[in-house]
Amino acid sequence: MTPDLSEYIRSRVAILDRVRGILRDTMKLKIEPEAIDPDAPLFGTGLGMDSVDAVELVMQLDTVFGLQLAGSPEDFLKIRTVNAIVDAVLETHDES
């Protein structure tokens, strides 16, 4: 495995762990962070987030990762799953 790929995987896993923790704390889930499926939808039948949860999540993502979502529909499409949040955080960090 190349050093760049190894670093990418380490970074992705670390961000995934933090996002899962943020979700558990924000939504007051009674499950371990590792039990949160990274591909489950955040809204509806997945984790069941509502609009209040979404606002709290967006604020936490901004505070922890500097991920700023302006509120446009395209921005919110970035956070449909845990993996999508991880991708958005990595993309933001690549741009800086």
**What integer is the mean pLDDT of 66-83?**
78
CB 67, CB 88: distance < 8 Å = yes
Q: What is the spatial distance between Cα 6 and Cα 13, in angstroms, rounded to a whole number? A: 11
pLDDT digits (tens, 9 = 90+) for 24-42: 998 888 889 999 999 989 9
Q: How confident is the model at residue 92 (pLDDT cuts 50, 70, 90)?
A: confident
The predicted pLDDT at position 71 comes to 64
Q: Which residues form the domain of 63?
A: 3-95
Question: Considering its fold, how many domains does the chain have in total?
Answer: 1
Q: What is the CATH classification number for the domain harbouring 12?
A: 1.10.1200.10
